[in-house]
Amino acid sequence: MSYVTVGQQNGQDIQIYFEDHGQGQPVVLIHGYPLNGHSWERQEAALLEAGYRVVTYDRRGFGASSQPSVGYEYDTFATDLDMLLKHLDLNNVVLAGFSMGCGEVARYLGKFGSGRIAKAIFAAPIVPYLVKTDDNPEGVDKSVFDGIMDAIRADRPAFFKGFFQNFYNADVLTGTRVSEEVLQASFNVAAGSSARATLACVPAWLSDFRADIASIRIPTLTVQGDADRILPIEATGARLPRLIEGSEYVVIKDGPHAIGWTHAEELNKAMLDFIRK
C-alpha cells in the first residue's frame, strides 16, 4: 500500500493513501463524498485500457487514509493534493474531480496554478458556489446544509442510507443501472469513514470557488446528469460554461449524481474524447 505524509497531529503522521497504475499521460481522479478512490473503478478501467496512467487517492478522513480531526477545508485538501503530485513528480496531468472532488480541482488551480496540469474535468461538480446569497441567487438555502449536519449528528448510518438513495436515484434506476449490492457497498465505505470527517466536510461544501474558477486558463470539461438530486445542475454544472472561457459541457440525459457508475459508458466517452484532443 502506498502513502504520502501530508502533516502531523499529536505527533502522528497524517497519511494519504493512493494507487498509481499504468503508463502514459497521468490522469488524477479525486473522489466524492463520502466514498474513496475506488469509486472511480469504471473510469480507471477505461483509462488504463486507453493507455493512460491513473492515480487515485483517498481524501483525508476517508478510505485507507488517516482520519485526523483537523484539515477538513479546501485549502488543506488542495495542499494534500499538491503534496501527492510533488511526491509522484507528476506533470502534464489531467486533473478530474467528481462532486466534492471538484472543489479540490478548482482550489488547487486557484492556489497552486496550472504548471503541472494540462486539463481539468469537473464531473457532477460542487463548484462554483453552492450556498444562496445576494450575489449568488442560483445557490441553495443554507438551511439545507444545517439540516444535513443535524441528520449526521443524530444518526450517521441512517443519513447515509437516505443519501445514497438520492445519490443513485435508486427509486428509478435500481435493477437497471444500479444494484442493491452497489448501494450496500457504497454504504459500507461511507460507514467506515471518519465520523468527524463526514460532519466536518459539510461546511466545506459552502466554499466559494468563483475566484478559483475565474483563474482557470486550461482546457476544461464539465459533465453532469440532468437528473442530479444531490447537486442541482442549474446551480452547479450549468453555470460553468459561462464562467470558464472555451470550456466544454456535456449533459447526460436522465443521469443521477452518481454518473460514474450508472452512466459509466457516457462519462467515460466524454472524458476520453476530451483528453485525446
What is the predicted pLDDT for the residue at 53?
98
Locus of grid cell 466559494 = 208
How many domains would you assign to the chain?
1
Which positions ≥6 away from 155 have C-beta within 8 Å?
none
Is residue 54's pLDDT more than 90? yes
E strands present in 82-204: 93-98, 117-123
Cis-peptide into 125, omega within 30 deg: no
Whole-angstrom CA distances from 198 to 35, 69, 201, 204, 271 are: 10, 11, 6, 11, 28
Strand partners, 95: 28, 120
Note down the domain range covering 260.
Answer: 2-276
Mean pLDDT of the residues in the chain: 98
Active site residues: 99, 228, 257
Question: Cell digits for 211?
Answer: 475566484
Q: How many CB atoms lie within 10 A of CB 70?
A: 13
What is the predicted pLDDT for the residue at 215?
96
Q: How many CB atoms lie within 10 A of CB 73?
A: 15
What is the predicted pLDDT for the residue at 214?
97
Question: Cell digits for 188?
Answer: 459500507
Where does the pLDDT of residue 120 fall: very low under 50, low under 70, confident under 90, or very high at 90 and above? very high
Is residue 164's pLDDT more than 90? yes
CATH code for the domain in which residue 20 is found: 3.40.50.1820
Where does the pLDDT of residue 231 fall: very low under 50, low under 70, confident under 90, or very high at 90 and above? very high
Q: How many CB atoms lie within 10 A of CB 91?
A: 12
Q: Please give the DSSP secondary-structure letter assigned to residue 54.
A: E
Interval 197-209: pLDDT, tens = 999 999 999 999 9
Where does the pLDDT of residue 105 fall: very low under 50, low under 70, confident under 90, or very high at 90 and above? very high
Where does the pLDDT of residue 239 fall: very low under 50, low under 70, confident under 90, or very high at 90 and above? very high
Is residue 37's pLDDT more than 90? yes
Strand partners, 26: 53
Whole-angstrom CA distances from 269 to 47, 54, 127, 200 are: 10, 16, 22, 34
Give the residue-averaged pLDDT of 115-129: 98
Question: Cell digits for 244?
Answer: 470558464
What is the predicted pLDDT for the residue at 1?
80
